[in-house]
A and B are shown apart, each in its own frame.
Chain A
Amino acid sequence: MAEIRGKDKNFKRYLENHFGIALPADVSIFYLKGVRVGNTAIGKGGIKGDLGYAACDEGFNPTNSFIQNFGHLATKNTITLDAAKAREFALGRGIGSVQLGEKSGFVIVKYEEFVVGLGYYDAEEKKIKNRIPEKRRRKIINGL
């Protein structure tokens, strides 16, 4: 497994700078047919196959799954929604009338202490666009 090299592909650095996420020592980010995440043992097993799961898409944007699983470690660029808005977001809808600063970029959308998914804050439109893949979206029927 090769660690990611190159400024624009340095996902680990991006995680630290943008979200303040420092991954646990036993979690590895590696480049193998894309940027993936797994534990530190799977590359040493010598088994030919797909290791871990995708941490980034082809454009080196974080995947919703990665954010849903590690977003709780973030210290910045997060937003916590109320129950009604969190349900809307889980359903795939965006969030309007949001003021998160002057710069556009990815945000981690939370409900209580849980990460609902990945959003993209559009500073011009003052909206959070939904980045949860269609297959993961759900109409939630209960509360926490």
Chain B
Amino acid sequence: MEEKAFRDWLSAYTDADKCISAFHSQKTFFRVNTIKISSGRFAAMTNLACKCSPYYDCAFELDEKPGFQIGRTWEYFLGLIYPQSLPSILASLALAPAGKDTVLDVAAAPGSKFSHMAMLMENKGVLVANDRGEDKISALYATINRMNVLNCVVTTLDGAKLPWNRRFTKILLDAPCSALGSGMAASARWEPANSMKISNLQKRMLFSAFDALKPGGELVYSTCTYAKEENEEVVANLLQNVKGASLVDVGLDIPHEAGLSDYGDDFRKCYRIYPQHLQSEGFFIAKIRKG
């Protein structure tokens, strides 16, 4: 889609000028891996030009020159940090897994949110990382090894046909999506029909993930896109067709816009994070409880 058409489409959701301007001035963030080093000790030892995010003490904003290769630093090599956008970090915080939980990450590769959840669980409990494809699993294992994730079980199942029923206390479904929040390149190759198509897969994945959730458990559904067909519509389809599913507030104190109330007032509990909010990529986060 051409930029002008995309701008018009986007203006139905948010201030398109601010959003597109922020697309071009996104900052680089990374997360400190507290499995290996505390945030405070990291801040004291690192020579990287960076500052701690006001929203999370393990998230840092990089302040090096453009083109700086964070993957070639000691901090990265030693597994002390993971480069990750701020909204992506916040998705795992919304789920808030702990060591007592049995957790599933339905589409885990390359392991950014997954390794963050391992860290939040202090490497305790059980954290299942699922994904498919040789390259994805290889990337996932690289993360597991570098970040020293010890509570993991890796499975390679179809995320839309998971075999589990009422098994997990917490589930993250960061669904495959059109990635419009990641930058202008994604919008250039996107058409609304793409979102309609991927929406069907997302709906099947969410049904499957919800089946795997224990009663009383919580599920976070997230994407890095804005199209309502991939966000509110997917969640609404679950709420309309499954008993015991309800939306709860994402519960993070961060700048955002509420989810679209066209689907019901409860959808205001969802977060739409645009680039102008956190100077990072765009994201959608919904939190669902099983009654």
**A84 contacts chain B at the CB level, 8 A cutoff:** no
Q: CA A66 – CA B173 in complex, angstroms?
A: 29
Q: Which of A44, A45, A111, A142 contacts B48 (CB 8 A)?
A: A142
B153–A144 contact, CB under 8 A?
Answer: no
A140–B148 contact, CB under 8 A?
Answer: no
Q: Which residues of B contact A53 (CB under 8 A)?
A: 141, 144-145, 149, 152
**B5 contacts chain A at the CB level, 8 A cutoff:** no
Closest to A47 in B: B153
Interface-lining segment among B15-23, B71-79, B201-209: B71-79
Q: Which residues of B contact A50 (CB under 8 A)?
A: 153-155
Residue among B48, B79, B126 with max Cβ neighbours from chain A (10 Å): B126
Query: What is the size category of the interface that chain B forms with chain A?
Result: 35 or more
Q: Which of B46, B79, B152 contacts A52 (CB 8 A)?
A: B152
Q: Which of A38, A90, A135 contacts B77 (CB 8 A)?
A: A90
B47–A144 contact, CB under 8 A?
Answer: yes
A39-B150, A41-B151, A47-B153 given; A142·B73 CB < 8 A: yes
| Chain A, 119-144, CB within 8 A of any chain B CB | 135-136, 138-144
A41-B124, A65-B145, A68-B78 given; A139·B153 CB < 8 A: no
A144–B151 contact, CB under 8 A?
Answer: no
Q: Which residues of A contact B125 (CB under 8 A)?
A: 39, 41
B73–A38 contact, CB under 8 A?
Answer: no
**A27 contacts chain B at the CB level, 8 A cutoff:** yes
Q: Which residues of A contact B167 (CB under 8 A)?
A: 47
Q: CA A53 – CA B111 in complex, angstroms?
A: 14
A26-B124, A47-B128 given; A143·B149 CB < 8 A: no
Q: Which of B71, B141, B149, B153 contacts A45 (CB 8 A)?
A: B153
Q: CA A39 – CA B148 in complex, angstroms?
A: 11
A39-B124, A53-B141, A144-B45 given; A138·B153 CB < 8 A: no
Residue among A39, A44, A111, A144 with max Cβ neighbours from chain B (10 Å): A39
Interface string of A41-56 (1 = CB under 8 A from B): 1101101111111000
Q: Which of A37, A111, A138, A144 contacts B150 (CB 8 A)?
A: A37
Residue among B48, B146, B150, B153 with max Cβ neighbours from chain A (10 Å): B150
Q: CA A69 – CA B115 in complex, angstroms?
A: 15
| Chain B, 66-103, CB within 8 A of any chain A CB | 69, 71-79, 102
Q: CA A53 – CA B140 in complex, angstroms?
A: 11
**A114 contacts chain B at the CB level, 8 A cutoff:** yes
Closest to A139 in B: B72
Q: Which residues of B contact A136 (CB under 8 A)?
A: 77, 146
Q: 14 A-B residue contacts at CB 8 Å? A: A26-B124, A39-B123, A41-B125, A45-B102, A47-B126, A47-B167, A49-B154, A49-B156, A53-B152, A69-B145, A138-B72, A139-B72, A141-B69, A144-B74
Q: Which A residues are within 8 Å of any B CB, using their own CB?
A: 26-27, 37-39, 41-42, 44-45, 47-53, 63, 65, 68-69, 90, 111, 114-116, 135-136, 138-144
Closest 8 CB pairs of A and B: A65-B145, A45-B126, A69-B148, A49-B155, A49-B153, A50-B154, A39-B150, A141-B72
For the complex with contacts A49-B154, A111-B74, 6 further pairs of A-B residues with Cβ separation under 8 Å are A27-B150, A65-B145, A68-B79, A68-B146, A69-B36, A139-B72
